[in-house]
Chain A
Amino acid sequence: KNEVEQSPQNLTAQEGEFITINCSYSVGISALHWLQQHPGGGIVSLFMLSSGKKKHGRLIATINIQEKHSSLHITASHPRDSAVYICAVRPIQGAQKLVFGQGTRLTINP
């Protein structure tokens, strides 16, 4: 079992829908990152969380440390949101590396 599991692996939705991507992890962490990867490989860091909730534009990230779970929400989704969304955790042990989930491929159709 991977230390970081994301669901769903693939998600297709219509423009305007509310999107939720989930991330569960099995190790103690000091922080959790949500990343966005577009075709061609470029990765953009969206959020880093250690507790609670963060919001940036139409993106909202939440984390529940006790339940070892985080969610990334996209409101009013748009085709330009189509990308792979990756959850990565910074374990308390080996705190300088990130452990990544497999990613969720999101496709927003017009």
Chain B
Amino acid sequence: NAGVTQTPKFQVLKTGQSMTLQCAQDMNHEYMSWYRQDPGMGLRLIHYSVGAGITDQGEVPNGYNVSRSTTEDFPLRLLSAAPSQTSVYFCASSYSTVTAKNIQYFGAGTRLSVL
């Protein structure tokens, strides 16, 4: 049972480079989201999606793009990496868009360093 799969686990980028963090879930969940975790901060929502073709901004969306062409996949794109984007990124999904009651299933995380 794969659950939520994130790739890569680790990545080092130079300032200005672009890359895509991949996230896939095999639970047929409607809701998917990306968070970043920084020292001394809680998980902060970057972008989320309530279904294929529908995405919206979270608390800290600047510098990131997302798309949701299928139910399974929700990639996060860094267009021009900056040192401020050094963080641990988590993808999560839940069964329903009634997010408040439905538990989130998290991927293993991607640790990104931008030099």
Query: Do chains A and B interact in one complex?
Result: no
Interface on A for B, CB 8 Å cutoff? none
Interface on B for A, CB 8 Å cutoff? none
